[in-house]
């Protein structure tokens, strides 16, 4: 799952389903904000296994999913969703969709201007764009713990913080430059219980450690886990990821 300046993480469908189901389960308010209608054609960006795309289908719309992960697309197809391997930075669509929807994907894309331009190009006149993804402050403690461990180990090389977590103001400016009128945008703090931060690191940060050997990767995960015990773990609640989501709805102008 790799594309120049897009996210470089590798996704494993089984691990994702076992340890990260919360990503889709907590996104139903974004689907409600999309308000899919019968007969609409909707593009699901970063469709993953197709969980939310199939929910949109159940609400009456036709859905086409795209994802950079071949394994995720294969799983989405097996689950009954029409899907293709594709990057948001290289989409061919022209005025084909009534709406574009995305959950938990756009913070992996370092070229937000290009992504938004392609989203707008894919929309029919008057179409809408609804998304939820990491916003300013998302997983702040986790990112800083990773940075600390890399600093402690110069042999690990440079820490590649490849996520894009914008403020509402910054993202609104991008959307408006591409003829989208923002009708709703909000940062939503959402501390999220997880089974263990080690599993989270294995799923979401393997792109950070892809150049490390097996022993270094194990050391990285263990030391990050230790760093985070003071900020992201309590005996009562267990592990909690310090998520902050940016939820947005915008309509094409004109």
Q: Which residue has the tokens 């309590």?
A: 234
Quote the CA–CA distance of 246 and 126 in Å, as a whole number.
23
Q: Which helix (H) or strand (E) holds 48?
A: none
Phi-psi region of 61 (alpha: psi -120 to 50; beta: other; left: phi over 0): beta
- The half-sphere exposure of 52 on its side-chain side, counting CA atoms within 13 A, is 34
Q: What's the rounded mean pLDDT across residues 100-106?
A: 96
The residues spanned by each domain of the chain are 13-139+163-192+241-252
Question: 41 to each of 34, 146, 204, how far by Cα in Å?
Answer: 12, 40, 30
Q: What is the pLDDT of residues 214-228, one digit of tens each?
A: 999 999 999 999 999
pTM of the model: 0.89
Tens-place pLDDT, residues 39-74:
999 999 999 999 999 999 999 999 999 999 999 999
Q: Is the pLDDT of residue 16 over 90?
A: no
Pairing of strands 180-194, 123-134: unpaired
Cross-strand bridge partners of residue 186: 247
Architecture per CATH, domain 13-139+163-192+241-252, reads as 3-Layer(aba) Sandwich (3.40)
């Amino acid at each position: 799952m790799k594309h120049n300046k897009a996210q470089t993480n590798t996704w494993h469908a089984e691990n994702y389903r076992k340890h990260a189901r919360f990503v889709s389960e907590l996104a139903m308010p974004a689907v409600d904000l999309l308000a899919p209608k019968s007969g609409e054609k909707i593009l699901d960006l970063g469709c993953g296994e197709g969980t939310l795309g199939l929910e949109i289908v159940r609400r009456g719309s036709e859905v086409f999913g795209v994802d950079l992960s071949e394994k995720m697309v294969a799983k989405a197809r097996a689950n009954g969703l029409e899907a293709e391997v594709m990057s948001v930075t290289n989409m061919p669509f022209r005025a084909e969709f009534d709406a574009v929807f995305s959950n938990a994907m756009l913070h992996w894309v370092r070229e937000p201007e290009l992504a938004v331009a392609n989203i707008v190009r894919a929309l029919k006149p008057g179409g809408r764009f609804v998304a939820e993804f990491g916003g300013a402050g998302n997983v702040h403690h986790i990112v800083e713990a990773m940075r600390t461990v890399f600093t402690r180990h110069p042999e690990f090389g440079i820490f590649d913080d490849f996520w894009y977590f914008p403020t509402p103001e910054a993202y609104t400016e991008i959307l408006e430059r591409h003829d989208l009128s923002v009708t709703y945008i909000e940062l939503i703090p959402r501390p999220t219980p997880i089974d263990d931060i080690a599993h989270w690191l294995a799923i979401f940060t393997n792109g950070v450690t892809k150049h490390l050997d097996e022993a270094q990767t194990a050391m990285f995960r263990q030391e990050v886990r230790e760093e985070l015990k003071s900020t992201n773990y309590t005996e009562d609640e267990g592990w909690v990821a310090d998520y902050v989501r940016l939820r947005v709805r915008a309509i094409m102008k004109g």
